[in-house]
Chains A and B, each alone.
Chain A
Amino acid sequence: MTVLPADKPLVLGNHTLTSRLIVGTGKYSTLELMQQCLEASGSEVITVAVRRERLLDASGRNILDYIDLKKYTILPNTAGCFNVEDAVRVARLGREILRGLENPGADWVKLEVLADTRTLLPDPVATVEGCRELVADGFQVLCYTSDDPITARRLKQAGATSVMPAGSPIGSGQGILNPNNIRICLEYLKENDPDYPVIVDAGVGTASDVAFAMELGCDGVLLNTAIASAKDPLRMSVAMKSACEAGRHALLAGRIPKKLYATASSPTEGVITRALG
């Protein structure tokens, strides 16, 4: 069997990863199914949210009983925050939990500062401000943002460990709606800094979206709903793993340029027929 030279790892701050797929833990019908899907995705990093303890039902099952904390690095998010103050509070609470659990994820956060509940689009101004505050507080900040290249550049300038543009709105499954913006984000963020990590976060609907993101030159993909809400989540997590690897291979291999007209794959000499036109 031919062995390809090993790909370089994905480096996110002081986290070095082999898998370029990061998956969420939300929306699964059962915690057992979530566990199987995490395993099948091959991901090393999984995202979680921070929420109030249910005081009446505190004896209920905790997701942490279903996550191998020695195997996975937890990436806590600030989902549900609509202002900088709340995002910073939630980030600190997440850090406190992970510190107690001695998980390496205690030093980073996926920053989301959302603008409204209908679109779940990020508030770019608040995200930049939140990033700056969390960086000053010692966090490595992975910033969920829109696909706007200027905001992406501002976030990098604010000290973001990674900029994570959305392909399309969270959970919408529309894939990458504006690949040109993602291309410009990549160009801006990787200028004189080719290893700066850019991750497509949100909007993925199916495996081809993941492959496309990787082919564009993104360093990784973060997704949740596309697996958790698929008809067969387990099979979809296998598909996402393959797509992420396929897209990465295609990027490294270098695709052929697109041409308007055909180029024959078979020799044009020695044919026994006469060509038309």
Chain B
Amino acid sequence: MVPSMQIRVNGESRLVPEHWSVSDLLADLRIESRYCAVERNRRVIPREQHAACGLVADDEIEVVTLVGGG
């Protein structure tokens, strides 16, 4: 599918195909989904819903993981 829909992922613009889900995006980014959490428009999308959660134009997606911290 042709990437035609603009979204933002971790603050950067990205073109993705329409009807993509959160799972599709994570697979494309080659992100280990076990270690990450996803927020769509400032709401956490629980991992069980990644496959069913369709992306919409102008979505703001954050994909985070854990890092060293105090």
- B70 near A: Cβ within 8 Å? yes
Known: A93-B44, A97-B37. A28 touches B68 (CB 8 A): yes
Check A96 for interface membership: any CB of B closer than 8 A.
yes
Q: Roughly how many angstroms separate A247 CA and B11 CA in the complex, as a whole number?
A: 46
B24 CB to closest chain A CB, in angstroms?
15
Residues of B within 8 A of A79 (CB): 69-70
CB distance from B11 to the nearest CB of A (A): 8
> A50 contacts B66, CB within 8 Å?
yes
The reply to whether the CB of A48 lies closer than 8 angstroms to some CB of chain B is: yes
Q: Across the two chains, which residue of chain B brings its CB closest to A75?
A: B69
* Chain B count of residues within 8 A CB distance of the other chain: 27
| Chain A residues numbered 6-31 whose CB sits less than 8 Å from any CB in chain B | 24-28
Looking across the interface, which residue of chain B has its beta carbon closest to that of A227?
B70
A contact residues around B38 at 8 Å (CB) = 96
Decide yes or no whether A62 CB sits under 8 A from chain B.
yes
Decide if A49 touches B67 in the complex (CB within 8 Å): yes
A to B CB contacts below 8 Å, 6 in the list: A49-B66, A50-B66, A53-B10, A59-B30, A79-B70, A89-B39
Give residues in B with beta carbon < 8 Å to A. Answer: 9-12, 29-32, 34-39, 42, 44, 46-47, 62-70
A interface residues (Cβ-Cβ under 8 A, vs B): 24-28, 34, 47-53, 55, 58-59, 62-64, 74, 76-77, 79, 89, 92-94, 96-97, 99-101, 170-171, 202, 222-225
